[in-house]
Amino acid sequence: MFFENTKNNIVALQNKSQKGKINNMKFKNKTVIITGAGQGIGAEIAKIFASRGANVAINDINRQTANKTVEEIVASGGIAKFFPADVTNEQEINNMIKNIIETFGSLDILVNNAGIMATSKTDELSVENWDRTLAINLKGTFICCKAVLAEMKEKKSGKIINISSLAGESGGITVAVDYSASKAGVLALTKKLALEVAGFNINVNAIAPGTTQTPMIEAMSEEQRKTLSAKIPLQRFGLPKDIAYAACFLASEEASFITGATLDVNGGLLMR
């Protein structure tokens, strides 16, 4: 009797793990493009989508880091290819999207992740720097969204995930006004676009990360990092994988009734 139960338990566990495996390949035959995927959050999003079976298009302006992300994915058995383009350049982005569709046969998921951060005080912030931040963080998101719509509308299916920031909701702590304004713009764009394309079965959602441990954060001063970490209720910075899991959820069928939403991934920092 004891042995019979043990045997049944083992079979049940094996079935469970087999199901887990199948579930983990939930993006097989899906193609995802992630902008700014050479490092940080974007690289981690790329790796987790690849580990779940997706064809991953790595975009970045930094050839070296992008190739490194591709190599790491391929070395662990995933499918990835580098597609260079600057998100602020509409022509380059349109060509890139065409290229991705020709390479992989489709495009199912767009993650707008490329971004830059700024920390100047407003009276020291130049109009040139304001324009640059808005161009990469907000205009870049618009250009990439626009570029994938024809393909997604024709298929009557698609997922767009825009990486905003807690600063787009709260104003932020150490960041500059150009950054906060650009990320608030991303949240408004997400809602309006979600409404516009809902009839085509396209979901458009945003993720608002709190402080996340990436090269962007390493660029901050020791003092700025201390100020930030002391305020986080869950007592740690976010990890890139915390954001990557949220992106995978929003791109999955489990999230098919979610659109125009902002998913907060910030360890409770929004409540402070």
Ligand X SMILES: NC(=O)c1ccc[n+]([C@@H]2O[C@H](COP(=O)([O-])OP(=O)(O)OC[C@H]3O[C@@H](n4cnc5c(N)ncnc54)[C@H](O)[C@@H]3O)[C@@H](O)[C@H]2O)c1
Tell me which stretch binds ligand X (CB under 6 A): 30-38, 70-78, 94-102, 145-153. 30-38
- Shortest Cβ 167–ligand X spacing (Å): 7
Is position 114 an interface residue for ligand X (rule: CB under 6 A)? yes
Q: 117 or 149: whose CB is closer to ligand X?
A: 117
Q: Is 65 in the site for ligand X (CB under 6 A)?
A: yes
- By CB under 6 A, is residue 115 in contact with ligand X? yes
Q: What angle do CA 147, 241, 114 make, to 5 degrees?
A: 30
For position 42 contacting ligand X by CB under 6 A, the verdict is yes
Nearest by Cα to 137 from 161, 159, 112: 112
Q: How far apart are CA 179 and CA 185, in angstroms?
A: 10
Q: How far is the CB of 32 from ligand X (least distance, A)?
A: 16
Known catalytic residue: 179?
A: yes
Q: If binding is defined by CB under 6 A, does position 78 make contact with ligand X?
A: no
Question: CA-CA distance, 3 to 257, in Å (whole number)?
Answer: 45
Residue 35 near residue 86 (C-beta atoms within 8 A): no
Residue 29 Cβ vs ligand X, minimum distance, rounded to whole Å: 26
Among 79, 116, 173, 258, interactor with ligand X by CB under 6 A: 116
Total site size for ligand X, rule CB under 6 A: 31
Of 43 and 149, which has the nearer Cβ to ligand X? 43
CB 164 within 8 A of CB 206: yes
- Nearer to ligand X among residue 36 and residue 78 (C-beta): 36
Note whether 165 binds ligand X by CB under 6 A. Answer: yes
Q: What is the smallest separation between the CB atom of 226 and ligand X, expressed in angstroms? A: 15
Q: Which secondary-structure segment (H or E) carries 264? A: strand 262-265
Nearest CA among 148, 191, 149, 151 for reference residue 169: 191
Distance between CA 9 and CA 5 in Å, rounded? Answer: 6
Please identify which residue in the block is written with the tokens 């042995």. 3
The least distance separating ligand X from the CB of residue 111, rounded to whole angstroms, comes to: 10
Q: Which of 79, 173, 216, 261 binds ligand X (CB under 6 A)?
A: 216
Residue 36, interface with ligand X (CB under 6 A)?
A: yes
What is the number of alpha carbons within 13 Å of residue 12 lying toward its C-beta?
A: 6
- Selecting among 179, 202, 208, 250, the annotated active-site residue is 179
The residue among 123, 145, 142 whose CA lies nearest residue 134 is 142
DSSP character at residue 236 = S
Whether 140 contacts 164, CB under 8 Å: no
Residues 195-214, interacting with ligand X (CB under 6 A): 209, 211-212, 214
Q: Hey, which residues does 96 pair with through a beta bridge?
A: none
Q: Nearer Cβ to ligand X, position 74 or 239?
A: 239
Please report how the helices 63-75 and 40-51 are oriented relative to each other, as an axis angle in degrees rounded to 10: 30
- Contact footprint for ligand X (CB under 6 A): 35-36, 38-42, 59-62, 65, 86-88, 113-117, 136, 140, 163, 165, 209, 211-212, 214-217
Residues noted as catalytic: 179
